[in-house]
Structure 1
């Protein structure tokens, strides 16, 4: 049994603030029925807890307003290609002449004198097959050719004496020609049992070992010419279009002044020149492969396979285009293209209408509406609204 006399009298005013407490619950009525009022274990504690909560919070106190949520955004500062600047592209060193050497005929290797990293002169022996079967075939074809030649000479004499017709002589002549062709084929197969270096170069690696059986055209060694090296670099679509607008490869070299920096010799810039441009983008990276040539400086060791980067100087006024990520563009209620421009003073974003042009990959060209130095939101543009305060990522 709980004594509710003084406690309920003292908190009558407090209870009156609670809308679900009836106004006719006066203290004298409560005191009159207290002998019939019993509480369980849960009710015994719920009333004092309710009193404490009401006394702590006070009657009629309003909830504090929720704090303003400041959304983090990623910003892009608008620049201008008219200002020019330096650009870098990853690449790798490759040999200008790099081939996989293999036999034209199958067989078992019986001689493989070269080692990886060995310099080999043009015409030097790289590998040799067991040629006994090919030598026997060559002898058979020589015998058949000799027989066909003797038969032709005999029939030619008969034709001169009008003993046979011209038609019969032509049949014998064709047989001779077939045997001569077979002999040439057998002679070439015999020569193909020797694998020779096609030019002065180096053995990059061996694909097989001595005494292995190999098939025709199976790679035996990787052979390359380290005297002439190139750089294979990947260029994004926008820069590839820029280079195409300049003109020829010679004009590109003069305008962009490309240089090569080898990772193993950081800081050493080597002048280079454009040699080739692949006009088909990579299916995965959507970049274009560009080949540049250079001359290795004296005293610097550069080998095929090294990593490098290509550095170019973009002249002022080369493009005059403004490209932004397509995700930064959204639309207003009237269907116009807008971007959200960040105001440094207020920390808020404001919508600005822009005129767009063609897309290049994941970027879109802005014709008008933005100026150099503007900072725009590039992610989550659809979730922004006029005057919303944001926080640039990284701040």
Structure 2
């Protein structure tokens, strides 16, 4: 009988123990689900007029570069400069040999002297012809009177027929001489003009020879840099052949292509008298002076004049510059991570939720060596907290937590924890004092009682 009841007793004890454990188990606290907060970085908006930058790439040119050519054929006697040398105004660049320059000059001077002598000779000849013409006309009159006398004598049979013919021939010869002399006198203005024209031509040749003689020795017309040297001392050069080139140090320009969409605002800014400055990484400053007269579908070249720096720039080299465009009022610079689709960003409202804001992107600005986007919007105001962290699940109303707010809360919690710890320590010290006092009091009481 006991063997039969023992299993049932054990089962009943186990069930009772299970029910007692279940009834006395601790109740677990209820879990309330909380919405996740996404940690983000924010920026307090401060609107101000700012100038976006436009990166440009262009070629350095020297519009005032001077190319020295040989005025005449000859040998190079001097070339004291070298490639890339900086020279001062008036410094000798190159010179031809005097043995090649002097003969053409002397020949031109001799030609002028000869033409001047011919002109003077023509004037003297003209005066002589005029005097001779007056006397030859007198001879014609005498021959005419002689012919009349001979005719009268022949009519009276006092002269022969041969005498009459001789008188006629003498008159004819006198008339021929007068006609030749009159033609010579009449041709004097034409001959004089021809000689004077030859004299003018000779004087022009002399002036050209003197000019070539002066140009055979070339000095620097300005402070500049020598380049493109083609000859060396002793070389034989032909007329009009290139010798070398020189360009002014402060006359360099940059020609960079401007996109079509930016040309209007740049031209408008120039018409208002604004100074648009471009800079490179070495600190060179270039001022926009205007746009080229011709363009193509890709854009038009802008002309920048070097104003400051640029000691390492050379014609023909490529340069990368950043042009400051006209200022945009009430604009804000933000990192590109804050933009969504280049046309929107999110703000953090008072409830720590994301609010989408449509903005207009105007270009780039440089902040601490990095390029940020310059934006503006009608609803953007000072003090707005712009979310800088780019969230892939960004949406309207998403709950976020600013990293700065989280740090501040952590600091406050640490301070409060420090205060609690100090209070607990003080309480523990006070309790220890009470215990010590009680023990001491008891001991004294026992001693007194004894």
Q: Could you say which structure has the higher strand fraction?
A: 1
By percentage of residues, which structure has more helix?
Answer: 2
TM-score of the pair, normalised by structure 2: 0.44
Q: Could you state the TM-score of these two structures normalised by the residue count of structure 1?
A: 0.49
**Greater RCO (CA < 8 Å, at least 6 residues apart):** 2
